[in-house]
Structures are given as structure tokens and as C-alpha cells.
Amino acid sequence: MFFLAGLLCFCSFALRAQTDFPPADKSPMDMSYFPANFPLLKIQDKVSGPPVVRVIYSRPRKEGRLIFGGLITYGQVWRLGANEATEIEFYQPVTIGDKKIPAGRYTLYAIVNENSWTFIVNRDNDSWGAFKYDAAMDVVRVDVPAEQLTEPVELLSMSFTGSNTAIKLVVAWENSKAALPINF
């Protein structure tokens, strides 16, 4: 009898604990490093220093919607993802465009147009969306050409490509792709 009462108490606590967590987000957060898979390489003793850069972003889905020119208005500042604005962290000084940027954590925004994107590195961190975007906090803006894709990309995706001195942060979603050049 005592065992049954104890089991019922345990089950009610377990069920209550499960309901204290928020539901899973529709746009999961993801992260990309350069070098790629840096944490795995680190535990395998295949790197000798810190990564160059990492980006943390939320990955919204296309879900049949018109993204560029629809959900994302051409010519307006976009958080470059969903939920919190995208965060980029440089572990060493880098150069973007003609601007030297110190190591540190920044927010990454974009202005998307039909044939080009403007990437914006901004000092204001821990922002949700682009609602309080402040151009006075911009570190650098870089215009890059947009490439039209033949196959649509369902989830917003970001990854780094390149070599030991120059990389690109490649961003793709729906039918568009753009790449931010980063030198170090």
C-alpha cells in the first residue's frame, strides 16, 4: 500500500516536471564553426588552437511560404534567422571588407535584395529579432552578390568554406544564397 502511494507521488512529480519546460521551438537553434566540426576535432586532438569563428542562429523553415520578397521584405534589416538575432563570434581578429574587426562577439544582420545581400556586423548583442536594430552600432557593412539556386533550401542554412587565411560564411534559404568573405 505504501509502495503504491509512493509510486503515485513519484509519477505526479515526474509529470509535473515535464510540464515546466517550454515547448520545442519551430525554428531550432544551430551552430557552425570554422574549422568545421571544431568541437569534435578538439576532443580528437586534431586542432592546436581556438577556432577562427562560429555562428549561432535559428533555422526557420520555408514551409511553402514565399520567403524573399514575402516573409523577408526586400531592402529591410533582417535578423538573419528567426527568434534571437544571429550571433557571430570571432576568436581572433578578422577583416571583413576593408575593416579590421577585433576578436569578440557580434550580431549579424542582413539586408536582402533580389540580386544582392548586405551583411551587417553590429556590436549590439543579445537582441531578439531586428526590432531594436541600431545602425550606429554597426562595425561593418558588406554588399555581396546573391546567387539564385535551382533547388530550394527548406531550412535556413549557414556554413563556412575556405582555407587557412580566407573563408566565406555561406547563407542559403529558399532559392537564394550569399556568401560573406572573412579574411584573417
User: For residue range 67-81, what is the model confidence (pLDDT) as tens digits?
Assistant: 999 999 999 999 999
The predicted structure's pLDDT at residue 12: 52
The predicted structure's pLDDT at residue 25: 85
Query: Is residue 15 situated within a structural domain?
Result: no
Query: Is residue 77 situated within a structural domain?
Result: yes
Pick out the chain residues at pLDDT < 50: 2-5, 7-8
- Determine the structural domain holding residue 138 and report its residue range: 25-183
Which sign does the torsion angle of CA 152, 158, 164, 165 carry? positive
Count the domains in the chain: 1
Cell 509519477, located at residue: 11
Q: Collect all residues with Cβ–Cβ distance below 8 Å to 31 and sequence separation of at least 6.
A: 54, 55, 56, 57
pTM of the full structure:
0.87
Query: Is residue 160 situated within a structural domain?
Result: yes
The predicted structure's pLDDT at residue 7: 45
Query: Is residue 4 situated within a structural domain?
Result: no
Phi, psi of 74 (to 5 degrees): -55, 140
Integer Cα distance of 107 and 150 in angstroms: 30
C-alpha dihedral over 88, 126, 104, 109, to 10 degrees?
A: 40
Query: Is residue 7 situated within a structural domain?
Result: no
Query: Is residue 10 situated within a structural domain?
Result: no
Query: Is residue 127 situated within a structural domain?
Result: yes
The predicted structure's pLDDT at residue 110: 98
Pairing between strand 116-122 and 104-112? antiparallel
